[in-house]
Amino acid sequence: MKFYIALSFSLLIASIAFAEKTPATASQTQDPKIKVTTYSEDYPKEELKGAQYEHQNYNQKDPQGILPPAERDNLFIKAGLAAAVDSWDQLDKDMLLMKARTASLAELKAKYPKLTPEALAKLQKLLKK
């Protein structure tokens, strides 16, 4: 019994010693690359530069309905919603656009009672173009 315990302990020590010397652990100490995607030309790219960043610009419309902030804000201006959504954060503005694409006008009015039904209808019409 003592022999098996000593053998198991020896194998454990040997495997730990071998694992510390493998090349795989050396690659784990490298800095990971972070892929940064921006949705606007207005984003300060100089803040993203560095050895660990790979930057690509995204200028196409997102299939899920998210637009670059400048295009989204332009739609709000055309629909007459700019002042009403000015204090909203970026996520809330994106959510309004996504809901305006898929929800009925009645659902939008219930979800956003502070926004005028006329402006919501105009936003939906602009999004269908």
pLDDT one-digit tens code per residue, 75-123: 999 999 999 999 999 999 999 998 998 899 999 999 999 999 999 999 9
CB 42 within 8 A of CB 90: no
DSSP-assigned beta bridge partners for residue 54: 35
- Full-model pTM: 0.53
Among 35-44, 47-56, 71-80, the range scoring the smallest mean pLDDT is 47-56
Q: Which amino acid is at 106?
A: A
**pLDDT confidence of residue 51:** 45
CB 101 within 8 A of CB 72: no
Domain ranges of the chain: 2-57, 69-128
Over pLDDT 70: what percentage of the chain? 52
User: Sorting pLDDT into bands at 50, 70 and 90, what band is 28?
Assistant: low
Q: Which residue in 127, 28, 129, 22 sits closest to 81, CA to CA?
A: 127
